[in-house]
């Protein structure tokens, strides 16, 4: 098999993936800030790095996948002023902030299960790692790259920039940042507007707070990822992922902090998924198009023509390459829905295909092409195109225009399921399937057919139906007003 | 409605439940130590306090329900020697302890979902509250009720006993404890064998460890519940629950710690569920009868005759009063399974009952009896007996031997569903239902009936079947070798 190539945002090129300590791989991905329900913007990174996690394991690596939960410190704007998102939501809802955290974490997990996202190996919470963050702050202070101002601690970006390259991930230039930064409330504590908070002194009304050597307060948002990735993956690890919206300032700040605290660059490969638009527009609460995942699954949003199964959403996201932007529309989703059904249909048909003495299609070449697509920076649209190609071949076999041996059917079933289910993470028949709703309707209909048969004195048919249902495990009970059924 | 009465383990009598700050209720329940998969011993407290949570909400309280996850500090024996359970498991599995925590927490949550346990309002982890625990230790030290020994901190039970009653919850007597305690490794650090650890210095091989003023170490097991209940429910709160096995030493130690740290008694009502036996024997790994919940649901254990649906387990547990012991056996479970099906059947039948001008059964008295059972310390076996009584009445109505008005049917449906679903937390048709497997079989059978009709030139019937299926949303596709179907 060819080598696995990934695009490294840091070097801006595709590189052969070589882990630091094979066969182990350390993977850290920025998870949700739990102050609201999950929307499409949460689904894309989750699916992208679930795919990466699945593929790394598939090709033999032992992966420790850490995906955090941000439950404190993520301010409403990224400029260290404004309010903590979780605490603000808690005030709004008049509850303890940890109740907000719990509710939205639970909802997030539920949505992730629906999308068939594997659980990460460790899912640490920012609020659960206050000592680790404080120790990292103390280290950065003692190295001279942070300063205390009015009880808060800020990272000294200007000093860092003398000896290090601040902006190497995002390509931002410090001078541009300086002039572009607006003056915001609370900014006067900083030496420079681009400095960022490691520790924020809590205002009296701030409800999430801890003691520290500097003030009663809370950690800055960027810090948690440095502290928790170091704790669970070590000072140097393989892959850090996240949405492109986190590239600056979040990941740029992580690089700077970790560099000073650990004395080395922590991350080998930075990977970022691109953004999602809806009907060509940027997604956002204020624009009224921030469609929640729950709304997709139930169809309860003005922009949606119908509900979409979680697998439709997953398949749709995988039909684009993770580094491309992706536009959601009803038309596109319905096309994905049909395409997904077509694929699943092929998988169902496969084992029952007519067999021959000779196989006329090239399964080996096809499988190798599929791997080539995955190895090329997880090129799922190309992989899915190959799967569709094979669907066509399967139809040709069914129609007798190509042929396959029974041995090769087994191989093809195994490969097809592997790509579709194990790696792409699609699921055939889900708990969300509408079958549960269909059975009572079908049974009602079939009992009506039987009732009609009885009326027409066709007792052979009515008995046949009752007997056949009995074999399946369904008991028919005749009553005055018709028939009823139950499971044995 | 009469008052809600609960049995308070502390006073050893039934008391009227009166919350400190109505309509708010603070409820703390000891959750799992996540070093293994959940078994029956986890299901009983989860279901017991889920019932309490549901009922408190039903009668109008606003409940903050905190159920912790013990992910550090729970030693293999309760005498402060031995190893941390999670860390020991991690060494065994050669993984980072937080991976063990994550895996078993995820599995626990999955099992709880299957049992239809509502999520608690907050689910704090011990490892996520190190600063809070350290602050509590510092407080107890400064009050003079703890001492430092070789880097560990112990609670001074003897000193506490001079001014307070150690043993008031469990009824244990200090002198008896002293003579009964075995000499165990590590015990020599203590002034008295019954003293308990607030902080343990970590041995070099111990992998979960934090800095502290006393040593690099980890908090004692009992401390987390005092620290986290205080943080999320306040220094005084309403109800503390847990299994009877936690009464001593865990809850007794909690009382002592919180009393000293908070200067007052923290808990008003202590509630404990009784234990489970299997075929009359104590449950335990060493006895080979520690059946996991997953094994119950799949039937994969030598002691099980068949798989049992999560709702059978739930119903079975609720058929006993929570303060009674409960013996599991295949016979008893299968009786519950049948009983549960009978109840569900009644609920299904209810809306379609024949109606009359007059109702001959007393719905008001029945409903009031149901509430009386719940108000009597959650007497679910009596409540369930009332539900079965009503099932009988429903059958009598169906047979024309009692009668009901259409108005009363609506009332009865509402009440019945309320007791069974909202309060007892049963679910009618679960994702675990076999319906998903049945539909393809039923469809195969119906398409065969249609095929036969075509063979017999009964095109009216074959067209009728196709059209009726179309109305339900099922498309029939005729092929050479028979017919196939798919959802529209």
HEC string of chain B equals: CCCCEEEECCCCEEEECCCCECCEEEEEECCCECCCCCEHHHHHHHHHHHHHHHHHHHCCCEEEEEECEECCCCECCCCCCCCEHHHHHHHHHCCCHHHHHHHHHHHHHHHHHHCCCCCCCECCEHHHHHHHHHHHHHHHHHCCCEEEECCEEEECHHHHHHHCCCCCCCCCCHHHHHHHCCCCCCHHHCCCCCCEEEEEECCCCCCCCECCCCCCEEECHHHHHHHHHHHHHCCCEEEEEEEHHHHHHHHHHHHHHHHHHHCCCCEEEEEEECCEEECCEECCHHHCCCCEHHHHHHCCCCCCCCCCCHHHHHHHHHCCCCCCCEEECHHHHHHHHHHHHHHHHHHHHHHHCCCCCCCCCCHHHHHHHHHHHHHECCCHHHHHHHHHHHHHHHHHHHCCCCCCCHHHHHHHHHHHHHHHHHHCCCCCCCCCCCHHHHHHHHHHHHHHHHHHHHHCCCHHHHHHHHHHHHHHCEEEEEECCEEEEEEC
Pair (B359, B310) in one structural domain: yes
Q: Which of B34, B64, B71, B96 best tests the A interface by mutation, with the highest count of A CBs <10 A?
A: B96
Cβ–Cβ contact A463 with B under 8 A: no
- Rounded mean pLDDT of chain B? 90
Instruction: Tokens for B454, please give them.
Output: 């075509």
Domain boundary among B252, B273, B294: B273
Q: What pLDDT is attached to residue A237?
A: 96
Determine whether the interchain pair B102/A109 forms a contact, defined as Cβ–Cβ distance below 8 Å: no
Interchain CB distance below 8 Å, A436 and B438:
no
Domain boundary among B273, B299, B327: B273
Range from A172-181, B286-295, B371-380, B445-454 carrying the lowest mean pLDDT: A172-181
Q: In this predicted structure, what is the pLDDT of residue B437?
A: 58
DSSP labels, A304-359: -SS---HHHHHHHHHTS-TTS-EEE-HHHHHHHHHHHHHHHHHHHHGGGSPP-SS-
Q: Which DSSP letter does residue A69 get?
A: B
Indicate if the pLDDT at residue A475 is higher than 60.
yes
Taking the CA atoms of chain A, what radius of gyration do you get in angstroms?
28
Residue bearing the bigger pLDDT, B134 or A468: B134
Find the helix packing angle between A330-349 and A406-417, rounded to 10°: 150
Evaluate if residue A325 carries a pLDDT over 50: yes
Task: Report the 10 Å Cβ neighbour count for A283.
Answer: 17
Q: Which residue has the higher pLDDT, B396 or A468?
A: B396
Q: Are B213 and B198 in contact (CB under 8 A)?
A: no
Could you say which of A249, A273, A297 is where a domain stops?
A: A273
For residue B145 the two structure tokens come to 């009720």
- Are residue B212 and residue B117 in the same domain, yes or no? yes
Instruction: Specify if A428 maps to a domain.
Output: no
What angle is formed at CA A320 by the lines to CA A318 and CA A322, rounded to 5 degrees? 80
B428, part of any domain: no
**What percent of chain A clears pLDDT 70, i.e. is strictly above it?**
93
How far is Cα A47 from Cα A116, in angstroms, rounded to an integer? 9
Which residue pairs from B89-96 have beta carbons closer than 8 angstroms and sit at least 24 positions apart in sequence? B89/B35, B89/B36, B90/B207, B91/B205, B91/B207, B96/A64, B96/A121, B96/A122, B96/A232, B96/B207
User: Does B317 lie in the same domain as B351?
Assistant: yes
Check if the beta carbon of residue B456 is closer than 8 Å to that of residue B448: no
Query: What distance lies between CA B20 and its chain's CA centroid?
Result: 25
CA dihedral over B179, B185, B190, B195, signed as positive or negative: negative
A430 located within any domain? no
Q: Is B229 in the same domain as B268? A: yes
Query: Considering only CB atoms, which chain A residues are within 8 Å of B433?
Result: 436
Of A99, A120, A487, the CB nearest to B122: A99
pLDDT tens by residue, B379-430: 999 999 999 999 999 999 999 999 999 999 999 999 999 999 999 999 975 4
pTM greater than the 0.90 cutoff: no
pLDDT in tens, B331-341: 999 999 999 99
Nearest CA in chain A to B123: A102
The reply to whether A429 falls in a domain is: no
Enter the tokens of residue B375.
């108000």
Indicate the pLDDT class of residue B434, thresholds 50, 70 and 90.
very low
Say whether pLDDT at B308 is over 60.
yes
CA nearest neighbour of A56 among A216, A239, A237: A239
From the list B345, B443, B487, the residue facing A434 with the nearest CB is B487
Do A257 and A321 belong together in one domain? no
Q: Does residue B113 sit in the same domain as residue B259?
A: yes
Cis omega (within 30 of 0) on the bond before B445? Answer: no
Distance CA(A211)–CA(B211), nearest Å, equals 15
Please, are residues B416 and B410 in contact by the beta-carbon 8 Å criterion? no
Q: Is A93 on the interface with B (CB under 8 A)?
A: no
Give the Å distances, CA to CA, from A336 to A142, A281, A341, B391: 55, 20, 8, 48
Mean pLDDT of chain A: 90
Across B355-379, average pLDDT: 97
Q: Compute the half-sphere exposure of residue A267: CA atoms within 13 Å on the CB side of its CA.
A: 27
Residue B139 corresponds to which tokens in the numbers above?
Answer: 């407080």
A148 pLDDT higher than 60: yes
Please check whether residues B457 and B355 belong to one and the same domain: no
- Cβ–Cβ gap B445/A461 under 8 Å: no
- Going by the DSSP 8-state scheme, the letter that residue A469 receives in this structure is H
pLDDT in tens, B228-246: 999 999 999 999 999 999 9
**Does A435 lie at the interface with B, CB-CB under 8 angstroms?**
yes
CATH code assigned at A49: 3.40.50.620
> With contact defined as beta carbons under 8 Å apart, do A110 and A100 qualify?
no
Instruction: Verify cis geometry, omega within 30 degrees of 0, for the bond prior to B23.
Output: yes
Task: Provide the pLDDT for residue B431.
Answer: 37
Query: Shortest Cα distance from A89 to chain B (angstroms)?
Result: 15
pLDDT tier for residue A186 given thresholds of 50, 70 and 90: low
Per-residue confidence (pLDDT) for residue B87, from 0 to 100: 77
B448 touches chain A (CB under 8 A): yes
Type and span of the H or E element at A154: strand A152-155
CA angle A12, A15, A17 (to 5 degrees): 130
Q: What angle do CA A288, A293, A298 make, to 5 degrees?
A: 95
Q: Determine contact: A211 vs chain B, CB below 8 A.
A: yes
Tell me how far apart the alpha carbons of residues A291 and A281 are, in angstroms, rounded to a whole number: 12
In this predicted structure, what is the pLDDT of residue A108?
A: 97
- Asked whether residue B430 is assigned to any structural domain, the reply reads no
B96 at A interface, C-beta within 8 A: yes
User: Which of chain A's residues have a Cβ under 8 Å away from the Cβ of B139?
Assistant: none
Q: What is the DSSP letter of A423?
A: I
- A357 in the same domain as A254: no
How confident is residue A91, by pLDDT bands cut at 50, 70 and 90? low
Q: Tell the residue number behind the tokens 């309760």, with chain if given.
A: B78
Sheet of A267-273, strands arranged across: A62-67, A24-29, A237-243, A267-273
What's chain A's length in residues?
488
The answer to whether residues A255 and A288 belong to one domain is no
For position B433, what pLDDT does the model report? 44
Are B196 and B292 within one domain?
no
Q: How confident is the model at residue B443 (pLDDT cuts 50, 70, 90)?
A: confident
And the tokens for A189?
């504590």
Q: Is residue B74 domain-shared with residue B99, that is, in the same domain?
A: yes
pLDDT recorded at residue A200 = 94
On whether residue B429 sits in a domain, the answer given is no
Q: Which residues contact B221 (CB under 8 A, 6 or more apart)?
A: B70, B73, B74, B75, B78, B126, B197, B250
Contacts of B487 in chain A (CB under 8 A): 434, 438
Structure tokens at A16: 């052969």
For A129, the closest chain B residue by CA position comes to: B128
Q: How many domains does chain B have?
A: 3
- Nearest CA distance, B121 vs chain A (angstrom): 5
Minimum mean pLDDT among A1-10, A11-20, A64-73, B199-208: which range? B199-208
Q: Is residue B397 part of a domain?
A: yes
Is the domain of A259 the same as that of A282? Answer: no
pLDDT, residue B112, reads: 97
Structural domain includes residue A451: yes
User: What backbone phi and psi angles, to 5 degrees, belong to A257?
Assistant: -60, -50
Residue-range definition of the domain harbouring residue A464: 435-487
What sign for the dihedral angle of Cα B265, B267, B271, B277? negative
- Look at B122 and A232 and tell me if their CB atoms are within 8 Å: no
The pLDDT of A429-444, averaged and rounded, is 62
A476, A469 Cβ separation under 8 angstroms: yes
Both tokens assigned to A301: 């949003």
Check if A182 contacts B (Cβ < 8 Å).
Answer: no
For residue B364, give the CATH number of its domain. 1.10.730
Give A276's DSSP letter. E
Cβ–Cβ gap A434/B211 under 8 Å: no
């Amino acid at each position: 098999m060819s080598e696995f190539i990934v695009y490294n945002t840091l070097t801006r090129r595709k590189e052969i993936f070589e882990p630091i300590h094979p066969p182990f791989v350390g993977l850290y991905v920025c998870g949700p800030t739990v102050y609201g329900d999950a929307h499409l913007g949460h689904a894309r990174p989750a699916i992208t790095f679930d795919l990466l996690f699945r593929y790394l394991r598939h090709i033999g690596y032992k992966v420790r996948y850490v995906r955090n939960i941000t439950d404190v410190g993520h301010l409403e704007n990224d400029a260290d002023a404004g309010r903590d998102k979780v605490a603000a939501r808690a005030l709004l809802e008049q509850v303890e902030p940890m109740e907000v955290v719990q509710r939205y974490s639970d909802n997030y997990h539920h949505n992730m299960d629906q999308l068939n996202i594997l659980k990460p190996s460790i899912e640490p919470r920012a609020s659960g790692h206050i000592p680790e963050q404080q120790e990292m702050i103390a280290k950065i202070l003692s190295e001279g790259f942070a300063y205390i101002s009015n009880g808060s601690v800020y990272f000294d970006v200007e000093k860092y920039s003398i000896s290090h390259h601040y902006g190497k991930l995002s390509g931002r230039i410090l001078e541009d940042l300086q002039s572009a930064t607006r003056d915001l409330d609370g900014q006067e504590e900083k030496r420079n507007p681009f400095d960022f908070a490691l520790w924020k002194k809590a205002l009296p009304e701030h409800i999430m707070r801890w003691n520290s050597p500097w003030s009663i307060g809370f950690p800055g948002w960027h810090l948690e990822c440095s502290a928790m990735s170091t704790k669970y993956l070590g000072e140097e690890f393989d892959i850090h992922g996240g949405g492109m919206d986190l590239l600056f300032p979040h990941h740029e700040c992580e690089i700077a902090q970790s560099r000073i605290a650990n004395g080395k660059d922590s991350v080998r490969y930075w990977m970022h998924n691109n953004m999602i638009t809806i009907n060509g527009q940027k997604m956002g609460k204020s624009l009224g198009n921030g469609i929640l995942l729950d709304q997709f699954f139930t169809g309860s949003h003005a922009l949606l023509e119908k509900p979409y199964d979680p697998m439709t959403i997953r398949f749709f996201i995988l039909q684009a390459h993770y580094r491309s932007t992706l536009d959601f529309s009803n038309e596109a989703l319905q096309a994905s829905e049909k395409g997904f059904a077509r694929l699943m249909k092929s998988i169902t048909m496969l084992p029952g295909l007519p067999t021959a003495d000779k196989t006329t299609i090239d399964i080996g070449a096809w499988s190798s092409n599929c791997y080539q697509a995955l190895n090329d920076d997880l090129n799922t649209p190309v992989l899915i195109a190959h799967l569709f190609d094979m669907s066509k071949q399967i139809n040709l076999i069914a129609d007798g225009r190509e042929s396959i041996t029974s041995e090769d059917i087994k191989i093809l079933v195994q490969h097809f399921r592997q790509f579709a289910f194990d790696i792409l993470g699609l699921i055939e028949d889900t708990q969300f399937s509408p079958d549960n709703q269909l059975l009572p309707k079908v049974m009602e209909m079939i009992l009506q057919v039987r009732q009609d048969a009885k009326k027409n004195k066709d007792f052979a048919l009515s008995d046949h139906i009752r007997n056949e249902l009995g074999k399946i495990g369904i008991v028919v009970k005749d009553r005055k007003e018709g028939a009823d059924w139950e499971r044995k």
